[in-house]
Chains A and B, each alone.
Chain A
């Protein structure tokens, strides 16, 4: 049986990579990486999913099945990191736009 969330993971990562590789607008490249990050985060969370589990707060629900706590902690950290990365890349785009008046990657100056 194929898990539905794994299909979503594959679609999100594929969309993210294709946007990052094929798009020429820098903002779209940043969006692609964001989408890809969401795909990876979904993958991590679904790794720790337990059928019928609740949120892993032990003191609230000592007797119920809980989903695994570690992937959730990982995902939280990873979301924070993607936020920093996205903000940094967008600020680079701002710098490039204010210098060249364009965020098209074909109009770049760095060449061999």
Chain B
């Protein structure tokens, strides 16, 4: 019985990873009517179930290559009857499964953290429902193989995120949410417009199907630019970063930690468009340069904007922009040399590995930093760095976790930020030494900025306002502790992550023919 059930889950994993959180989200308000405890158990159980199915999916993908699932077909593997993929196809390769597992793990951590952090605030049934909708949106965005459903999941993610950002319903958070919604709905409409342009020419919406027939006409180039800039906007790369600081800064702290992963889903879509949909075309290397320039701008502008900030979460938000730049730089170098096999093997592939490794490291340490910021806000009730002091006296665990996160984001050994940044420095140096120098300077500025935060928040005498209360409750420091242990573990043993997850993900991203062959 249980075996048959597990077999069913394994076979329908791509559909279930989207369906479970989505159904659970709309059931959450119902369970909330019974009691708060039942609701909390329900949310955690449904996220654990999602995690289990995502792990099965990841396992299948790593063992047997990509998993293709046709929605509405009599047999899920029947992707292209008559050689034409007209149904919605979910297509999970190693890159998709890698992103999906990051999203679910962070959802679980953020959810457990939120129980005590949000406390007795009203409307928490909607909060947890929206958390689950965000999870469904992210997983859908990374597993879909269809340009239009990409738009749908992106909008699902944006609407849920905007409602979460405005949760405190103060004027500022509503402003931030409004800004986020305006920016992301214009971006999403551009994606839809680009999908229409491609549909009008090739009569296809499936990414793999389109990648097989695309010709790089003028209209395709316009569609590429629209898609590229819209997804660059979603991941918060610098000329399009203005929503990041507001949204991350005003959202509740656990939501900020989750929004980091939401931006990375946008980053995934950017990579998928560049490498799979338009990959292999002669002009795509130019987009690699665009990605590198976005990356360098994000790194430098992000960190210089972060240094003068007085609001702890706004400061961390600018650092999130800056770290996104590293991923764009690493993967952009890979894209710039994609048609040059020698350079790709020499440094392009390891630059991409560094960039993709940085994605999961960023989710861990930036998640941890936002959660420590949340712990500080939980105890002191302020986000202003000038009003906090001497927190190390009363919150020793939070202090340790903050140090771990701060040293990791600055790229110091033995933390995971060092492992991925070193790969980026080494390989980018072979591409262009100047870029590696910029990346290192940005790391030093990052360290300077976090030393400032550490000094002003944790050092110094106790002030009466921040002295009350001790350490944060167990469920909050426990999840922060998990993240801190993972950060140190992957800093000391980066090969575990690289060999098992990152290298297959990069191989999947580069294997455009395999992605197309999965469908047609």
- Cα A92 to Cα B166 in complex, Å, equals 8
Tell me if B172 counts as interface (CB < 8 A to partner A).
Answer: yes
B174-A95 in contact (CB<8A)? yes
Tell me if B77 counts as interface (CB < 8 A to partner A).
Answer: no
For A37, the closest partner residue in chain B by CB is B189
| CB 8 Å contact bits of A30-42 with B (1 = contact, 0 = none) | 0001001100100
- Cα A94 to Cα B245 in complex, Å, equals 23
Number of A-B residue pairs with CB-CB distance less than 8 Å in the complex they form: 92
Tell me if B378 counts as interface (CB < 8 A to partner A).
Answer: no
Binding site secondary structure of chain B:
helix
Tell me if A44 counts as interface (CB < 8 A to partner B).
Answer: yes
A95-B166 in contact (CB<8A)? yes
A99-B170 in contact (CB<8A)? yes
A95-B169, A96-B171 as given contacts; A29 in contact with B192, CB under 8 Å: no
Taking the closest CB of chain B, its distance from the CB of A3, in whole angstroms, is 11
Taking the closest CB of chain B, its distance from the CB of A81, in whole angstroms, is 5
Interface size class of B (residues with CB under 8 A): 35 or more
Taking the closest CB of chain B, its distance from the CB of A12, in whole angstroms, is 11
Q: Which of B176-226 contact A (CB under 8 A)?
A: 176-179, 181-182, 185-186, 188-189, 192-193, 195-196, 199-200, 205
A33-B186, A96-B174, A100-B171 as given contacts; A70 in contact with B181, CB under 8 Å: no
- Cα A51 to Cα B203 in complex, Å, equals 17
Most chain B CB inside 10 Å of its own CB: which residue of A43, A47, A81: A81
In the complex, chain A residues whose CB is within 8 Å of the CB of B195: 74
A37-B189, A40-B196, A89-B178 as given contacts; A109 in contact with B159, CB under 8 Å: no
A70-B174 in contact (CB<8A)? no
For A17, the closest partner residue in chain B by CB is B186
- Cα A70 to Cα B189 in complex, Å, equals 18
B182-A89 in contact (CB<8A)? yes
- Cα A71 to Cα B152 in complex, Å, equals 14
| CB 8 Å contact bits of B269-285 with A (1 = contact, 0 = none) | 00000000000000000
- Cα A16 to Cα B387 in complex, Å, equals 43
Q: Which of A33-90 contact B (CB under 8 A)?
A: 33, 36-37, 40, 43-44, 47, 70-71, 74, 77-78, 81-82, 84-85, 88-89
B182-A29 in contact (CB<8A)? yes
A71-B159 in contact (CB<8A)? no
Taking the closest CB of chain A, its distance from the CB of B487, in whole angstroms, is 30
A78-B192 in contact (CB<8A)? yes
Tell me if A4 counts as interface (CB < 8 A to partner B).
Answer: no
In the complex, chain A residues whose CB is within 8 Å of the CB of B172: 109-110
Tell me if B454 counts as interface (CB < 8 A to partner A).
Answer: no
A77-B152 in contact (CB<8A)? yes
Taking the closest CB of chain B, its distance from the CB of A6, in whole angstroms, is 11
Tell me if B291 counts as interface (CB < 8 A to partner A).
Answer: no
A110-B177 in contact (CB<8A)? no
In the complex, chain A residues whose CB is within 8 Å of the CB of B196: 40, 43-44, 47, 71, 74
Tell me if B498 counts as interface (CB < 8 A to partner A).
Answer: no
Tell me if A93 counts as interface (CB < 8 A to partner B).
Answer: yes
For A96, the closest partner residue in chain B by CB is B174
Taking the closest CB of chain B, its distance from the CB of A27, in whole angstroms, is 11
A43-B205 in contact (CB<8A)? no
- Cα A17 to Cα B155 in complex, Å, equals 18
In the complex, chain B residues whose CB is within 8 Å of the CB of A112: 245, 305
Question: What are 12 of the A-B contact pairs (CB < 8 Å)?
Answer: A74-B148, A81-B152, A88-B159, A89-B181, A92-B181, A96-B171, A96-B175, A99-B170, A100-B171, A109-B171, A110-B175, A112-B305
Contacts A26-B178, A71-B199 known; list 20 others, CB within 8 Å: A29-B182, A36-B189, A37-B189, A40-B192, A40-B193, A43-B193, A44-B196, A70-B86, A71-B196, A81-B155, A89-B178, A89-B182, A92-B162, A92-B175, A92-B177, A92-B181, A99-B170, A109-B175, A110-B172, A112-B245
